[in-house]
Structure 1
Amino acid sequence: MKIQKSKRSGSRDRLSELPDSLIFNIFELLPMNDVVKTTILSKRWKDLWTTVPFLNFTDSSFRYDPDISSARNFVNRALILWKGIKILKFTIDFRSRYGHYTSLLTDDLNVWVRWAKQKEVEEIHLRIKDDYEPYQLSECLYSCSSLKVLVLSLNEISLWSIPGNIKCDRLKSLTIDSLYCDFNQKFISQALRGSPKLEVFNLTLHERGSVFIQSSSLKKLSIRKPRYETDKELKIVTPNLETLEILGSPYRRCVLSGSSSLTDVTLRFQEHKSWYNSIEHENLSAASCEHDCGETLSQILPSIRHVEKLKLSPWCIEVLERTNKQHLLLRPYFIVREPLKFAGRRVSCFDDRVKRIMPSSRPSHS
């Protein structure tokens, strides 16, 4: 009897017995072309992919094709066959190969984004690699009542032209990660004003000019400025901010207002000699960069003495020493080590020891 029961059990289609929620959790971890391939695993799975609320399109599975047309055609076909009601997460990740993707995909990207908006999408992740063509953000995203998370990771993005006011009532997280970002202060102001529930704002800056961040809803703010520009000023007015990260090159002037809620601050200013050795920045010098770093630290550190965790890069510590400003650190802090690469991604590491610097002492850089 036990043997017969085992045979009957072995003949069951266990994949078909899995609940939809578990199957969708599996699908969420896979690129869409692999999700489609699961139709051969079970009769019940044959059309299940057409209702999955997580659509993750990546060109990595098409890397052997000579151009982008196969990946583009796959996305268009999948969207036509999709029969679901609502999209929770929509991802376009075309970064695995070099190419002029933006110029080839601009119209397609806008069609795909509008399609996702019609399906009441909650998360949109656009990751495109193109060394030549900027992507003009689709106008439909300036007003999207369902959107909660927006991630724009592109080599170059244009956010200069704003058709009317930005209105994203449910947006909680906004990330603009771009090597070259063409926009003005008006975009930042309207994005913050039009997103009253925004809690997380990650911004990478490359353009010239000052930046003003004002929001009563923000809880986490991360600003990265890879290039050193002498005319850069940063003003932050965020009364409910809990976590602040300022990364990259220093600012000429930095104003931090309403910082009483801050508990975690990272200041990872870095010295890059290429900034002032290149022809483009031939008038810059190591001294001016160091001066700006010292001024920025002098303006920020006195206003964050109450934070629970302060993380500083080694160069920040060196600048404080050379400028005799150790007195600004009469409290414990962590030293931020240089980012490491793990699984192809840069990961920031922190010393596991809490170090203390006093006016009459010198910090250890072991």
Structure 2
Amino acid sequence: MENLKRLHRDILRELPDMLIFDIFWRLPMTDVVRTSLLSKGWRNFWTTSPFLNFDNRAMLFGDDSWRGFDGKEVYRVPLCLYSCSSLKELSLQSCNLEIDGNVQWNKLESLTIKAFRVTANLINQILSATPHLKVFDLTYVDKGGNLSIQSTSLKELSIFKYFLAAADLFVVSELRICTPNLETLEISGFPYKKYLLMDVSSLTRAFLDSVPSDHFFQFGLSNALSQILPSIQHVEYVALSDCCTKEIGAMKTKCAHSAFLNVKSLKLRCCLYDYKQVIGALEMFPQLNRLVIEDEKGNSHQDDTESLKFEANLPESFLLRLRTVEVTWSEGYGVFPLIEILLKYASKLEKIVFQLNEIKSPATSDSLFYVSEKLLRMRRSSSSNCKIVLTKLRPSSHWNNSGN
């Protein structure tokens, strides 16, 4: 009789809470809610979890007859979620957020929102109800309205704005940021009409990305950068996408050469064949110690056998403090003009690391040998002891902004 009772006991209820919460975090949210059928003690247990991940991307092509879908392939977040006061980490991806009442996320520390349907007013409402939020990652379609990020607790902020319809491109919107304790800021996607970075005094890392530039978006991007750059001049680490690198290189004639006096580490994603624009951008970082460059376009190849020449009126402070350079590029030799300039002017350069992506191309088969031969013939500055490291990598499809 005793053995029979053991067989019928609710074993799931005896699992440690943190183990159950860890299971919830790893499961699709549809399955998490369905776990309420497994045990009486689990009926509403998922609502007490400190970690929840609503990821609709895995469900878009699944069974849309399950409760929660609104018929338009967007999952409706249960209203009871907004009263989950125990939440510390929450991820909402491809979901429909509809708040009815007050949000009670007083303990929330990390929030990811990647939604098709979310308004600036709703985001503002959420932020006002998360007094301890430290990490906020937002991806959304701008449908109008001014987005205001005001928080004394935020440490990391990432904002990506995109569009689904052509009408979204002409939305006039404003981004206002007042975060005195913010340390890391990433702004990417289509630019806002107006930026107000009112207090980012604690910022140490800034990532600026944008959509591929053309004549239509060039003015918008230039206008955005002219508003953002003055507010982040005090940071120590900067990462720029290809479009932003080009714009900053073109803007150098309008800005003081010492625009970023505190930046020690810089990461550029750019086309190495546009080396003059890269040099123009580098002029604005006189205190640079470390430079990381990733080739954005490695599909052009040329056998560069003639001596390279570069004429420019560079400032006396150009690259005087640069010690380390890391270059990742594909087979092709447009990298040489830039490297020649670095070797010529960076008098304190200690190390250059070349990481060659392996791709099929008509370039010389023994690329690393060819590169080493070219480098040995290049003119160097007083930094004759600079160490050069050549390696091969597999192709990378994603720009990792964590390089520091």
| TM surpasses 0.5 | yes
Which runs of structure 2 are paired with 1:289-304 in the superposition (5 Å)?
Answer: 289-304=217-232
Give the counterpart letter for 1:303 in structure 2: S
**1:222-251 Cα shifts (integer Å, max 9, x gaps):** 101133724232111111111111122222
Q: Secondary structure at the match of 2:125?
A: helix
Cα deviation, residue 176, structure 1: 0.4
Cα deviation, residue 103, structure 1: 5.2
CA distance in 2, matches of 1:81, 1:334: 53
| CA RMSD, 1 decimal | 3.9
For 1:106, the equivalent position in structure 2 comes to 68
Give the counterpart letter for 2:96 in structure 1: I
CA distance in 2, matches of 1:175, 1:73: 20
Deviates more, 1:74-83 or 1:196-205: 74-83
For 1:190, the equivalent position in structure 2 comes to 125
Number of residues paired by the alignment?
A: 259
1:254–1:299 contact (8 Å) kept in structure 2: yes
CA distance in 1, matches of 2:109, 2:67: 28
For 1:16, the equivalent position in structure 2 comes to none
Cα deviation, residue 334, structure 1: 2.0
Cα deviation, residue 215, structure 1: 1.5
CA distance in 2, matches of 1:93, 1:49: 26
Q: Does 1:319 find its partner at 2:255?
A: no
Query: CA distance change for structure 1 residues 73 and 312 in 2, over 3 Å: closer, same or farther?
Result: closer
Among candidates 134, 139, 142, match of residue 79 of structure 2: 139
Q: How does the TM-score come out when normalised to structure 1?
A: 0.59
Q: Does 1:166 find its partner at 2:103?
A: yes
Unaligned runs of 5+ in 1: 1-42, 60-67, 108-129, 273-285, 339-351
CA distance in 2, matches of 1:145, 1:243: 27
For 2:187, the equivalent position in structure 1 comes to 246
1:252–1:292 contact (8 Å) kept in structure 2: yes
**1:103-132 Cα shifts (integer Å, max 9, x gaps):** 52318xxxxxxxxxxxxxxxxxxxxxx993
Query: CA distance change for structure 1 residues 353 and 223 in 2, over 3 Å: closer, same or farther?
Result: same
Q: Does 1:255 find its partner at 2:201?
A: no
Which runs of structure 2 are paired with 1:115-134 in the superposition (5 Å)?
Answer: 132-134=72-74
Query: CA distance change for structure 1 residues 336 and 49 in 2, over 3 Å: closer, same or farther?
Result: farther
Give the counterpart letter for 2:38 in structure 1: A
Among candidates 148, 157, 160, match of residue 96 of structure 2: 157
Query: CA distance change for structure 1 residues 73 and 185 in 2, over 3 Å: closer, same or farther?
Result: closer
CA distance in 2, matches of 1:225, 1:240: 23
Deviates more, 1:297-306 or 1:321-330: 321-330
Cα deviation, residue 259, structure 1: 1.1
For 1:222, the equivalent position in structure 2 comes to 158
CA distance in 1, matches of 2:245, 2:169: 21
2:93–2:114 contact (8 Å) kept in structure 1: yes
Cα deviation, residue 314, structure 1: 2.0
CA distance in 2, matches of 1:132, 1:359: 58
Among candidates 133, 137, 152, match of residue 202 of structure 1: 137
